[in-house]
Amino acid sequence: MRANEDRLRGLLLLGLSGDARAYGDFLDALSSHLRAFFRRRLAQLPDEVEDLVQECLLAIHNQRHTYETDQPLTAWVHAIAKYKLIDLLRRRASVDRLTEPLDDEHDVFSSADAEASEARRDIGKLLEQLPDRQRLPIVFMKLQGLSVVETARMTGMSASAVKVGVHRGLRALAAKIRQE
Amino acid sequence: MKTNDLVTMLATGPAPGNAHAPTYRFVAAIGWGALGASLLMAILLGVRHDFADAMLRPMFWVKLAYVVALATAGLLALSRLSRPGARLAGAGLALATPVLLMWSIAAIELAAVDAAERGTLVFGRTWASCPMLIAALSVPTFAAMAWATKGFAPTRLRLAGAAIGLASGGIAAVIYSLHCPEMAAPFLGLWYLAGLLIPAALGVLSGPLLLRW
């Protein structure tokens, strides 16, 4: 568990310093841990697991600036995962289905589950609902891998508007997930 | 979209590390909130007429230090509670210290006078309006702080709401202390604190609604 904390934290710190590959590895490992964490706690609602994993990944990405580098990563991830889980249960007004206590923060990295089931909600479809000034920068930069300059040329937007568009678009996406 | 594709999408593109904490939002919230409270006070109340004389009295500065310390403690708690999993690290102590110090001064003041005069020290002339006015002046800062907190990720929404209330009430009390003629420690320890606790209670009630993300 301690090893997971160190490995994941190392990847995140590399990612935050600009290493996209390490950041991808971080999110990938994180999604396995989140999946196992939610599967155990949503035994009655297995269909919700993958949606919640995705919602959490997007939340963690959008809120990555709230991670303080001297803080245990486990505590940060656990607080977000627990918050999103309780938020989901509240939304479904089914807190009573919660069978296991949520209080052990060291639990979140103790197991991993790499086997993703199908998400029911399609984030790709939600993406299509975003306005062009947010959708196009995300499609060109984050799905097709173009650079800021190329995206700016393709869309006729300024480079800073492109970056703002990605940032705001991902936040808008997270908001759309919650409104569903 | 599959989870793997989402991971790829999030990791692709502009450097993942380019997101900076929007700390400026808190600074802006303090600035706009204090400005709003000052305008409200200028319109509704005005500065105390003996302001120049009051500034010469040590108790004026003790009172100012008290409310500044309370506002700072509220802000400290809020900055912790806006981050998932962060420990409260001394925020409770920072809050309790000015209150306990003021209560100690109050005890000394109360012990030094006759029983008949104690009521004056506790209630002053404005006890009924003081907490309400502080709560009213806290409204602009409360709104601005809630907006600033939305740029972060609070996970304990009622506590974060309470911290927003304490911080905005503290800033309101700083502004209000420039109007308020009361100088007795028992009054400050009781009614100023009540003025902070009103927005704090509103924060506890409204936190889950205002701060969800």
**What is the residue extent of each domain of chain A?**
2-109, 123-179
Q: Note whether B176 contacts A: Cβ–Cβ < 8 A.
A: no
A20:B3 CB<8 A: no
The pLDDT value given to residue B36: 95
Residue A154 binned pLDDT confidence (cut-offs 50, 70, 90): confident
> What mean pLDDT comes out for the span B16-45?
86
The pLDDT value given to residue A97: 52
* Whole-number Å distance between alpha carbons of A50 and A35: 7
For chain A, the C-alpha Rg in angstroms (whole number) is 17
Q: Chain A partners of B85 at a C-beta cutoff of 8 Å?
A: 71-72, 75-80, 105
Residue B141 binned pLDDT confidence (cut-offs 50, 70, 90): very high
A83:B155 CB<8 A: yes
Looking at chain A, the whole-number percentage of residues with pLDDT higher than 90 is: 43
Q: For chain B, how many residues are written? A: 213
Q: Chain A partners of B86 at a C-beta cutoff of 8 Å?
A: 68, 71, 75-76
Q: Are the beta carbons of A154 and A162 closer than 8 angstroms?
A: no
Token code pair at residue A104:
């052990």
Q: How far is CA B89 from CA A73, B85, B86, B148, in A?
A: 17, 12, 8, 21
* Whole-number Å distance between alpha carbons of A114 and B208: 33
Instruction: Name, in order, each residue with C-beta under 8 angstroms of A112's C-beta and a sequence gap of 6 or more.
Output: A29, A32, A33, A35, A36
Residue A38 binned pLDDT confidence (cut-offs 50, 70, 90): very high
The pLDDT value given to residue A12: 93
B9:A15 CB<8 A: no
The pLDDT value given to residue A110: 72
B3:A71 CB<8 A: no
A153 burial class (0-12, 13-18, 19+ CB within 10 angstroms)? Answer: middle
Which pairs count as long-range contacts for A45-48, CB under 8 Å and 24+ apart, including other chains?
A: A45/A92, A45/A94, A45/A97, A46/A117, A47/A120, A48/A88
* Whole-number Å distance between alpha carbons of B46 and B176: 9
Asked if pLDDT for residue B169 goes beyond 60, the answer is yes
* Whole-number Å distance between alpha carbons of A64 and A72: 14
Asked if pLDDT for residue B49 goes beyond 80, the answer is no
The pLDDT value given to residue B86: 86
Q: Which of B86-100, B137-151, B155-169 is least confident?
A: B86-100
* Whole-number Å distance between alpha carbons of B163 and B92: 11
Q: Are the beta carbons of B151 and B22 closer than 8 angstroms?
A: yes
The pLDDT value given to residue A93: 67
Asked if pLDDT for residue B18 goes beyond 90, the answer is no
Report which listed range, A95-104, A139-148, B80-89, B185-194, is most confident: B185-194
The pLDDT value given to residue B76: 94
The pLDDT value given to residue B19: 61
> What mean pLDDT comes out for the span A21-35?
94
A96-141 tens-digit pLDDT: 555 555 556 666 777 777 777 777 788 888 899 999 999 999 998 8
Report which listed range, A43-57, B10-24, B145-159, is most confident: B145-159
What ipTM was estimated for this complex? 0.86
Looking at chain B, the whole-number percentage of residues with pLDDT higher than 90 is: 69
Q: How far is CA A123 from CA A53, A86, A91, A103, B4, in A?
A: 12, 21, 19, 30, 12
In CATH, A123-179 is 3.90.1200.10? no
Q: Which of A59-68, A118-127, B87-96, B156-165 is least confident?
A: A118-127
* Whole-number Å distance between alpha carbons of B41 and A110: 55
Residue A4 binned pLDDT confidence (cut-offs 50, 70, 90): confident
A78:B10 CB<8 A: no
Looking at chain B, the whole-number percentage of residues with pLDDT higher than 70 is: 96
Q: Are the beta carbons of A116 and B3 closer than 8 angstroms?
A: yes
Q: Note whether B20 contacts A: Cβ–Cβ < 8 A.
A: yes
A28:B7 CB<8 A: yes
- B143 CB neighbour count, 10 Å cutoff: 17
Q: What is the 3-state secondary structure (H, E, C) of chain A?
A: CHHHHHHHHHHHHHHHCCCHHHHHHHHHHHHHHHHHHHHHHCCCCHHHHHHHHHHHHHHHHHCHHHCCCCCCHHHHHHHHHHHHHHHHHHHCCCHHHCCCCCCCHHHHHCCCCCCCCCCCCCHHHHHHCCCHHHHHHHHHHHHCCCCHHHHHHHHCCCHHHHHHHHHHHHHHHHHHHHHC
Q: How far is CA B206 from CA A28, A68, A149, B5, B64, in A?
A: 36, 27, 44, 37, 29
Q: Chain B partners of A82 at a C-beta cutoff of 8 Å?
A: 155
Of A179 and B77, the structure prediction assigns the larger pLDDT to B77
Tokens 């990605």, located at residue? A166
Q: What is the CATH number of domain A2-109?
A: 1.10.1740
> What mean pLDDT comes out for the span B56-73?
93
Please name the residue of chain B whose CA is at the shortest distance from the CA of residue A147.
B13
Asked if pLDDT for residue A81 goes beyond 80, the answer is yes
